[in-house]
Structure 1
């Protein structure tokens, strides 16, 4: 296994929390030279294949001042996470076969955005409102009539709203959360954080391994915290409105190891890993040992004086570890991680 590499001089940990254009042509030149200097072989030569799965490392979640910045309890969570993540990618460039990056992808008229709902006076719910099944039954919140003209199905959106919130309730999921408009397709918030985008690009050139991007969350009728499965997949009549991402699950499990980082630890990371674990347990529970969770490269959602999901995230990660997954630190050499990696 290749040894830990130095961090390229262009990586500036003080700029991880900023927006700037990646100098692609220069980095392509740098990456080729870096590979030659350090004897970095093409990813196709890897005898043990490692996938780094980056969950929603996007401006909308990772930069202060953006719509859903994941600050954690420290207030700088995602910024610190991405500094460590960038360093992890560069140090382990020769050992990461493929980087797969998910992109939360939304438009205005979606079930978890304010415009989708109105109260009796026609007001949209403020961000962070929780809409329960009983709220819809009692008419506290109903689907905005303006939305119906923009969606082709289902025909009765109010009936669907009842079905959707009841399904979340019956399955013991979080109630529907109205999030601020975020990860808007075509907007700056949708893009990867520049420092991590640069690291992915550098990896692509140095290892001759294309970064794989997985879009999630564009379905207007369901939340999609997990890249592997939406929260609700059928309408009130049992007709499919969304599908499980079986191809990605199969692709991930073909690797010898899957390393997971990203935002938020309490939501999109937790949901994705939970879905992966469910598939693993239905196939071969021993496969859980392939999964490594970068504990110091993910933070929970914390909105001071509103919500704090830190404890829930910790409990979830403990459950993952009990199932056989490994909780590791980005600063520990991969060679010293548990398991046969």
Structure 2
């Protein structure tokens, strides 16, 4: 197979600013993108004969910058920053081959089941974020209880129903083999800076959209106060204790992804939102046609696991998940080699 010619990096891309927050100058970049497309004979995405989607999972400040709430440093300590540098370079160098970019946005408010305010102990204290996991046994023994003060905001004042749901919830996590309920720091807060995409990634997505006349396919997740939502394709728990649905899988987005000839996946964190999204995608693929797994490509150098030194390290779990995905037929590759091993793409 003949190696595909990659595009150069545009002059505006500054590798030193990938780990910073700044305003994208949209009109300036739009003008540059139009000129870039003309200079390099980049055609509109609608003309692609083989369609490639790049799904970027939760490349938001809250996960990707060291001074923010849930920085995904991996074992290197600089994981997400390094990942995003490679991700931006991948987008720019393959601008003419990527049909659409689908960024997912983890989106939260204060009173959700995985935030400290939701729970209290006998002393009325909230759990310490990132250092606390709440198990079924913890709830059964009353070590952690629902904070009665949140019932008015998220359960219409029905505290007993909220208690019943919470017990049901941690039980379902256990039954389904999910991670125990982790209490996370307040993060990806709707309306906050942490919720925004990393500036360099946002700029690359915007530049791609203008250059290729391709609307970014934004997907919002995580706003349901009664369930975690690591995967963009479905929440952790779909029903309440009475069997009534509290959430649904994202069937429309699943169908959209599987319409593409290739789906490339990157983002944060490898051990949580990335792994859970890929797992749900694989479940859908196996239910339809296992051969579809071959068109999924995982950028292993554009994602890192959750590692909190001295507290938790999910590296092994993340690596095991990716090994399982590869065994099912998905392609685990590096961003620098991907476009050379994809099936030939003619425009």
Q: CA deviation at 1:338?
A: 5.0
What displacement does 1:25 show? 0.7
1:115 match: 117
Match for residue 46 of structure 1?
48
Residue 178 of structure 1 pairs with residue 183 of structure 2: yes
Match among 175, 178, 199 for residue 204 of structure 2: 199
- 1:107-127 per-residue CA deviation (whole Å, 9 max, x = no partner) reads 000000000000111110010
Q: How does 1:235-250 map to 2 (within 5 A)?
A: 235-250=240-255
- Number of matched residues? 340
Contact 1:328–1:337, Cα closer than 8 Å, also in 2? no
Instruction: Please say if 1:9 is aligned against 2:11.
Output: yes
Q: Name 2:69's counterpart in structure 1.
A: 67
Tell me which residue corresponds to 2:164. 159
- Asked if structure 2 preserves the Cα contact closer than 8 Å seen for 1:16 and 1:194, the reply is yes
Contact 1:4 1:333 in 2 (8 A): no
Q: Deviations over 1:236-271 (max 9, x none)?
A: 000000000000000000000000000000000000
Q: How does 1:1-341 map to 2 (within 5 A)?
A: 3-128=5-130, 129-152=132-155, 155=158, 156-332=161-337, 334=339, 336-337=340-341, 339=343
2:118 and 2:288 map into 1 onto residues whose CA distance is 38
Q: Secondary structure at the match of 1:293?
A: strand
Check whether the contact 1:154–1:160 (CA below 8 A) recurs between aligned residues.
Answer: no
Determine the C-alpha separation between the residues in 2 that align with 1:165 and 1:75: 31
Aligned residues of 2:24 and 2:203 also touching (Cα < 8 A): yes
Distance 1:71 1:240 in 2: 36
- Partners of 1:238 and 1:136 in 2: how far apart? 20
Aligned with 2:153: secondary structure? coil
Q: Distance in 2 between matches of 1:64 and 1:294?
A: 22
CA contact (8 A) 2:155 2:162 kept: no
Q: Which runs of 5+ in 1 are unaligned?
A: none
Structure 2: distance between partners of 1:2 and 1:311? 34
State the 1:152 CA deviation: 3.6
Gaps of 5+ in 2: none
1:60–1:182 CA contact under 8 A, matched in 2:
yes
Q: Could you tell me the TM-score, scaled by structure 2's length?
A: 0.96
**2:79 and 2:304 in contact (8 A); partners too:** yes
- Structure 1 residues 219 and 30 mapped into 2: Cα distance closer, same or farther (>3 Å)? same
Q: How far does residue 331 in structure 1 lie from its aligned partner after superposition?
A: 1.1
> Structure 1: how far apart are the matches of 2:102 and 2:178?
27
Once the 2 structures are TM-superposed, how far is the Cα of residue 90 of structure 1 from its aligned partner?
Answer: 0.1
Once the two structures are TM-superposed, the CA of residue 3 in structure 1 deviates from its matched residue by 2.9
Q: CA deviation at 1:151?
A: 1.5
Moved over 4 A (4+): 338-341
Residues 304-327 of structure 1, C-alpha deviations (whole Å, 9 max, x = no match): 000101111111000000000001
**CA 1:153–1:268 in structure 2 vs 1: closer, same or farther (change >3 Å)?**
farther
Equivalent-residue separation in structure 2 for 1:250 and 1:166 (angstroms): 30
CA contact (8 A) 2:135 2:180 kept: yes
- Offset from partner CA, 1:190-243 (integer Å, 9 cap, x none): 000000000000001000001111000000000000000100010000000000
Give the 3-state SS of the residue equivalent to 1:150 in structure 2. Answer: helix
Give the distance between the partners of 1:92 and 1:71, measured in 2 at CA.
26
